[in-house]
Amino acid sequence: MYRKHKPDFSFFRTLTFMLFEQFKSAFPQLKDKWDEYSTYLHRIEVPAKTVLLREGQISKKAFHIEKGCLRAWINKGGKDITFQFFFEKETISSAESFRKNIPSFVTIESVEPCILHWISKSDLVKIMNEAMEIPEIRASLIDGIFERHFNYTRQLVSFITQNPKERYLKLVKERPHIVLRVPQHYIASYLGITPVSLSRIRNSVS
Amino acid sequence: MYRKHKPDFSFFRTLTFMLFEQFKSAFPQLKDKWDEYSTYLHRIEVPAKTVLLREGQISKKAFHIEKGCLRAWINKGGKDITFQFFFEKETISSAESFRKNIPSFVTIESVEPCILHWISKSDLVKIMNEAMEIPEIRASLIDGIFERHFNYTRQLVSFITQNPKERYLKLVKERPHIVLRVPQHYIASYLGITPVSLSRIRNSVS
DNA sequence: GCCCACTCATGACCTTTGATAAAAAAAGTC
DNA sequence: GACTTTTTTTATCAAAGGTCATGAGTGGGC
């Protein structure tokens, strides 16, 4: 392997960084806009296992995580298969549903009690249209899309080239916070195996 | 499933469409540029099993396929695992290597004798910088990146939610040209299984 | 046309993972 | 702290897929 896992510096995460301090100094061009933009964000607190977007619905909100953990999962014949985990400072929406106004194939749900900030699609589009006019921000956003894409590609490569045990060890090594924080049966489905099988793998490792 | 497979209308494919007729009428703004741009493309013919980019090298060219078929594969402990197939009118590079100047984790190789057109990264960047100034083209390119990303996401979902037999049937249904044209053992590794296992699956289907 | 490399199918055998059930452990709830 | 619910482990058996070996097509190159 040529490189380590990089955090998911996605399109939306990039945006939310803009909204959440980090980019303010990098992009003083938008200085006057911050106050306006920040009114677009709506703070909510939700308990664990709260569904934020149901499979089949059309995603109209993006969520930024201040505190807690979310997961996106896919319904496969009644079973729930975790597709992605999201943690503090990450932003999540069902990207294809959000962008193309089609039904989402994932359900987005809280794993822990969370503090979230959501923004509506229409407000986000408004900000985007302004931000895209600024070359540095545009470049940064495009970079963000590519990074997100490369991360997903790596996850796909991992499925193609590694067996479940290798994938588990890779996860422990590269993203240990997931293993420490998330119930094991969610991790099992994320790795493409059953909870029973993951338990056996863990047993064989230690 | 909510939608059928869409062709990979990727970032680079979008670009090459621009260079190859289809976008000329859509973007008359670049009318004067077509002649110049077309000199950036270099036509080559290669026999089957020609390596166009070796794992570990840094990708400096993008290839457009006029005729033939390429595949990208990953070396896994001496075995070659097909990651993607590419056909006529598609454009291919090791995207992350090309964009970030890092060693490629895939090898790109011809499956059949091919007629290709390649463009250097520096020339492509030059075109990109000009094209990105035009809002319609910019929007189209960004759409292309997202579409590419969504396609890879679907492939990942397929690995997470489906077993090899289901993946094979899906491939036959949605991309039959691959099954008809490409040697079976390449398809087997693309599906994440051995040639023996694919042969058994085919037998059980018919 | 003949040869050789490539491709595919099949059988025997082995390993891994899944399905199911049940028990143990851990985490919440009141 | 006792009770409930959720999560994890263990055991057993079945099924899927991998490995290895063999033989039968197939097709291109000479």
Closest residue to D17 (CA, C1′): B197
Of B26-35, B64-73, B121-130, the least confident: B26-35
Give dist(CA B82, CA B74) in Å, integer. Answer: 6
What is the distance between the alpha carbons of residues A105 and A73, in angstroms, rounded to a whole number?
9
pLDDT at A166: 92
> Does strand D come within 7 Å of the CB of A165?
no
Q: Tell me the shortest Cα–Cα distance from B199 to chain A, in angstroms.
A: 19
Q: Which two tokens stand for residue B97?
A: 């290597």
Task: Verify if strand C has an atom below 7 Å from the CB of A163.
Answer: yes
Give the H or E element holding residue B183: none
Distance A166 CA to D12 C1' (A): 26
Residue A18 above 70 pLDDT?
Answer: no
User: What mean pLDDT comes out for the span B93-97?
Assistant: 90
B2 closest CB neighbour out of A1, A102, A132: A102
Tokens of B67: 């005729």
Q: What pLDDT is attached to residue A8?
A: 39
Asked if A202 CB < 7 A from strand D, the reply is yes
* pLDDT above 90 as % of chain B: 46
Q: How confident is the model at residue B21 (pLDDT cuts 50, 70, 90)?
A: low
> Which nucleotides of strand C are protein-proximal, with an atom < 7 A from a CB?
6-12, 16-21
Contacts of A3 in chain B (CB under 8 A): 102
Give one word for A191, left, alpha or beta, with left for phi > 0 and alpha for psi -120 to 50.
alpha
Q: How many CB atoms neighbour CB B70 within 10 A? A: 23
Report d(CA A27, CA A22) in Å as an integer: 9
Instruction: State phi, psi for A118 to the nearest 5 degrees.
Output: -110, 155
Q: So what's the pLDDT on residue B38?
A: 77
Q: What pLDDT is stored for residue A128 in this prediction?
A: 83
Q: Which bases along strand D come within 7 Å of a protein CB atom?
A: 6-11, 16-21
The residue among B188 and A10 whose pLDDT is bigger is B188
Mean pLDDT of chain B: 83
Q: What pLDDT sits at residue A142?
A: 86
Q: Which domains does chain B have, with CATH numbers?
A: 11-134 (2.60.120.10)
**Residue entry with tokens 């499925």:** A159
Confidence of residue A84 (pLDDT cuts 50, 70, 90): very high
> Average pLDDT for residues B65-72, to the nearest whole number?
92
Tens of pLDDT, residues A44-78:
999 999 999 999 999 999 998 989 999 999 988 77
Cα angle B11-B7-B26, degrees, rounded to a multiple of 5: 55
Residue A124's pLDDT is what?
Answer: 87
Strand-pairing partners, residue B75, are B80
Q: Are strands B51-53 and B107-110 parallel, antiparallel or unpaired?
A: antiparallel
Over residues A104-123, the mean pLDDT reads 92
**Cβ neighbours of B155 in A, within 8 Å:** 156
Q: Give the mutation candidate from A12, A145, A149, A158 for the B interface (greatest B CB count, under 10 A).
A: A149
Cβ of B165 near strand D (distance < 7 A): yes
Does the pLDDT at position A19 exceed 80?
no
Torsion, Cα of B150, B156, B162, B163 (10° steps) = 150
DSSP string, B131-180: HTTSHHHHHHHHHHHHHHHHHHHHHHHHHHH--HHHHHHHHHHH-HHHHH
Report the pLDDT value the prediction gives residue A2, as an integer from 0 to 100: 32
pLDDT score of B89 more than 60: yes
Return the structure tokens found at A25.
Answer: 């100094």
What is the predicted pLDDT for the residue at B28? 65
**Edge to edge, what strands does the sheet with B107-110 contain?**
B51-53, B107-110, B70-76, B79-86
B80, closest residue in chain A (CA to CA): A161
Task: Note the pLDDT of residue A29.
Answer: 67
pLDDT-derived band at B72, boundaries 50, 70, 90: very high
Question: How confident is the model over A160-184, as pLDDT tens digits?
Answer: 889 999 999 999 999 999 999 999 9
Mean pLDDT for the stretch of residues B29-33: 69
Predicted confidence (pLDDT) at residue A117 exceeds the cutoff of 80: yes
